[in-house]
Amino acid sequence: MTEKQNCILRIDNLIKIFDDAETEDTILKGLNLTVQRGEFMCILGPSGCGKTTFLRCIAGFEEFDGQIYVDGHKCSVPGTDRIMVFQDFNQLFPWKTVEQNIQYPLKLQGLRDKDELRRISEESLIKVKLQGYERYYPHQLSGGMKQRVAIAKALALKPALILMDEPFAALDAMTRSELQEEVLRISEQEGSTVIFVTHNIEEAITLGTRILVFQKGGQVVFDEKNPIKRPVTPLAENYGAIWEKLHRALHSEDGG
């Protein structure tokens, strides 16, 4: 497969300006980027660098200037080919059970066969290790479990891109590392393309096959393949070196 066919996301000159009545804030100043199929791209950056806005533009939640192509199609509004997993635990609809939350988007796509729906929701719940929780309502689940359901919901839709906006930032350290492992395993099994925004260097090194660092204005100051073979542990060769590099790139604007 040539490089071009393999490209799942192409971004041309993406500009995003937040235009209040008084202030005009340029969040993204002409960003260009391509993402290959199957890549797990982690984006690191200080707060306010535009990494979340970047993700929201891809998801179609924001108006923007420039072009975004997913699988060759131009995107400007939300669509099920790009599913967002938010940081907020409350992204599941509280009035639907776990199973209904997963099946609802599929029903909207026209899937009516009850057995097929059940099969898909069961399958994706097994992937996130939540089988048996089909009939639970979101308020009966812990934060980590809710995030698992959100991931299962995304998987069931088989999107071209899974967009994750610091999905584990609000979790305790143990649950976070558990979920990181799950996401890693799932993305390898499914061959999903993931764009994962985080502010945690360790998380980026653990998960990413490619790591980017944004600075103010959505400026890409670092863009390299992760040299460390999975599974990544702090004892791996190069871990310290890449950590150091990322740390420096992250703090490159501190003037230090």
What is the crossing angle of helices 98-108 and 143-156, to 10°?
Answer: 20
Nearest by Cα to 176 from 206, 215, 136: 206
Give CA torsion, residues 207, 134, 94, 76, to 10 deg: 50
- Applying CB under 8 A, the span of 5-13, 87-95, 121-129, 201-209 interacting with other proteins comes to 87-95
The answer to the question of residue 143 lying near other proteins (CB under 8 A) is no
> Of these, 30, 38, 46, 105, which contacts other proteins (CB under 8 A)?
105
Nearer to other proteins, 50 or 60 (CB): 60
> Of these, 140, 227, 231, 253, which contacts other proteins (CB under 8 A)?
140
The answer to the question of residue 108 lying near other proteins (CB under 8 A) is yes
What is the crossing angle of helices 173-190 and 143-156, to 10°?
Answer: 10
The answer to the question of residue 93 lying near other proteins (CB under 8 A) is yes
The answer to the question of residue 59 lying near other proteins (CB under 8 A) is yes
CA dist., res. 180 & res. 11, Å (int): 27
Q: How far is the CB of 209 from other proteins (least distance, A)?
A: 25
The answer to the question of residue 90 lying near other proteins (CB under 8 A) is yes
Which residue reads 């839709």 in tokens? 157
- Please count the residues of this chain forming the interface with other proteins, following the rule CB under 8 A: 27
Nearer to other proteins, 97 or 226 (CB): 97
The answer to the question of residue 86 lying near other proteins (CB under 8 A) is yes
Helix (H) or strand (E) holding 33: strand 24-36
> Of these, 91, 177, 219, 252, which contacts other proteins (CB under 8 A)?
91
Nearer to other proteins, 135 or 225 (CB): 135
The DSSP result for 210-252, as a single string, is EEEEEETTTEEEEEEE--SPSSP-TTSTTHHHHHHHHHHHHTT
Instruction: Pick out residues in 191-220 that bind other proteins (CB under 8 A).
Output: none
The helix, strand and coil proportions of the chain, stated in percent and rounded to the nearest 5, come to 35, 25, 40
> Of these, 2, 23, 109, 233, which contacts other proteins (CB under 8 A)?
109
> Of these, 70, 83, 149, 155, which contacts other proteins (CB under 8 A)?
83
CA dist., res. 242 & res. 22, Å (int): 41
Site residues (CB under 8 A) for other proteins?
59-61, 77-80, 82-84, 86, 88, 90-95, 104-105, 108-109, 137-140, 157
